[in-house]
Amino acid sequence: MNYKNPDKDGYYGEFGGAFVPEMLYPNVEELQNNYLEIIESESFQREYQDLLKNYVGRATPLYFAKNLSEKYNTRIYLKREDLNHTGAHKINNAIGQVLQAKRLGKNRIIAETGAGQHGVATATACALLGLECIVYMGEVDIQRQAPNVARMKMLGAEVVPATSGSKTLKDAVNEALRDWINNPATTHYVIGSVVGPHPFPDLVARFQSIISKEIKEQLLEQTGRKNPDYVIACVGGGSNAAGAFYHFVEEKNVQLIAAEAGGFGVDSGKSAATTFLGTLGVLHGSKSLVMQTADGQVIEPHSISAGLDYPGIGPFHSNLFKENRAEFFSINDDEALQSAFQLTRIEGIIPALESAHALAVLDKKRFKKDDIIVICLSGRGDKDMETYLKHL
């Protein structure tokens, strides 16, 4: 499987495709027909790369975490996506998609958000590029990620609560898709992860692939080696992981590790560990692994981190799982919290709760002294302070 080029219908093996209502088809088809030509054009790349460098602050550092390395007796590098403008990897994709939407003549942007990072990133791009922005967010997430709601409002976005189901990310995606069906001509839906109908999984993976491109260059410069032994990232829908894995998938000697949200535990009935609990199904427009009942009803997920609280994963990751190309770990809420506290105390970095799931893999697997491990630190923890303080 060539993960950089899913087939023309957007399939990674048996996962992917575009399962959308007829009303939405013209929008999706317009994107399918135009996205590659737009984003590969020289003028797009000039504008996008300039913003990544001078506005977002890329390249983000690849930081050798000396204290963490000593603790685990191995060599650990952190890819500091938390240092991006707005505090997470989400801006890499949001700016790309908003630029692309402008070139398609759209003047109204909608987005869903869980942790609020994608909503903030999209609202930021819209403020910068002068487009209207509406963000759908589950009511539960509006409460637990309040600082990001305030930021979106200050940036001029309208934040619309999603009040169905578990009132979290899945429900926000449903509302955004509903809006798109009702406003097909003027609106572009900036999806925040490698989910949704083709071409979104490929489009978002391409925008996030800058993460592994930089890791390769920085690792070579710092260690003389082009490839690490392991790359570890958390998976909600899977965009930071897809970006961190992208340029390593073909390199068979690089082991890929994905950390999913175990919630209270995979057997607890309150979990979001899709590869452990999911089966083949269609969610939000693509065929992938989905947490569902025998008759196809989506099971409400749970995670302490809003960004991982999702009952599916993108087709890219479903295929990595099926092909055994990546190893998947389920990290429970309390394990993620402990890893966040540890990183804060020994490295002076407060990670996002989502990223803390990737860090927790260090306690699940034994690494050799000479191994080089790169962990994608997808975001910073400012938005999670209320949760952290409750558990200190």
Ligand X SMILES: Cc1ncc(COP(=O)(O)O)c(C=O)c1O
List, by residue number, the catalytic residues: 90, 112, 378
Pick the binder of ligand X from 27, 84, 271, 355 (CB under 6 A).
355
Q: Examine residue 339 and tell whether it contacts ligand X (CB under 6 A).
A: no
Of 60-68, 218-226, 231-239, 262-270, the window that binds ligand X (rule: CB under 6 A) is 231-239
Distance CA(258)–CA(194), nearest Å, equals: 14
Q: Cβ of residue 223: shortest distance to ligand X, in angstroms?
A: 26
Distance CA(191)–CA(201), nearest Å, equals: 9
| Structure tokens, 180 | 């798109």
Pick the binder of ligand X from 201, 237, 301, 312 (CB under 6 A).
237
Pick the binder of ligand X from 75, 79, 118, 198 (CB under 6 A).
118
What order do you get walking across the sheet with 132-138 strand by strand? 158-162, 132-138, 108-113, 187-190
Is 37 within 8 Å of 303 (Cβ atoms)? no
Q: Cβ of residue 192: shortest distance to ligand X, in angstroms?
A: 6
Closest CA to 164 of 178, 150, 180: 178
Pick the binder of ligand X from 32, 239, 332, 387 (CB under 6 A).
239
Is 205 within 8 Å of 246 (Cβ atoms)? yes
Is 359 within 8 Å of 213 (Cβ atoms)? no
Pick the binder of ligand X from 236, 262, 263, 301 (CB under 6 A).
236
- What is the x/- site pattern for ligand X, positions 139-178, by CB under 6 A? ----------------------------------------
- For residues 102 and 248, which CB has a smaller minimum distance to ligand X in the complex? 248
* CA contacts within 13 A on the Cβ side of 390: 8
Q: Examine residue 115 and tell whether it contacts ligand X (CB under 6 A).
A: yes
| Structure tokens, 163 | 């009040």
User: Residue 374's beta-bridge partner residues?
Assistant: 77, 231
Of 24-32, 252-260, 267-275, 347-355, the window that binds ligand X (rule: CB under 6 A) is 347-355
- What is the x/- site pattern for ligand X, positions 291-320, by CB under 6 A? ----------------xx------------
| Structure tokens, 157 | 């976005």
- What is the x/- site pattern for ligand X, positions 190-229, by CB under 6 A? ---x------------------------------------
User: Kind of pairing, strands 187-190 and 230-234?
Assistant: unpaired
Of 240-269, binders to ligand X (CB under 6 A) are 240-241
- For residues 74 and 290, which CB has a smaller minimum distance to ligand X in the complex? 290
Q: Give the binding-site size for ligand X (rule: CB under 6 A).
A: 21
Q: Examine residue 381 and tell whether it contacts ligand X (CB under 6 A).
A: no
- For residues 114 and 197, which CB has a smaller minimum distance to ligand X in the complex? 114
Q: Cβ of residue 61: shortest distance to ligand X, in angstroms?
A: 17
Q: Examine residue 109 and tell whether it contacts ligand X (CB under 6 A).
A: no
Of 58-66, 234-242, 247-255, 288-296, the window that binds ligand X (rule: CB under 6 A) is 234-242
- For residues 123 and 352, which CB has a smaller minimum distance to ligand X in the complex? 352
Of 21-29, 153-161, 239-247, 253-261, the window that binds ligand X (rule: CB under 6 A) is 239-247
Q: Cβ of residue 245: shortest distance to ligand X, in angstroms?
A: 11
Q: Examine residue 378 and tell whether it contacts ligand X (CB under 6 A).
A: yes
Q: Cβ of residue 26: shortest distance to ligand X, in angstroms?
A: 27
Which residues of the chain form contacts with ligand X (CB under 6 A)? 88, 114-115, 117-118, 193, 234-241, 307-308, 352, 354-355, 378-379
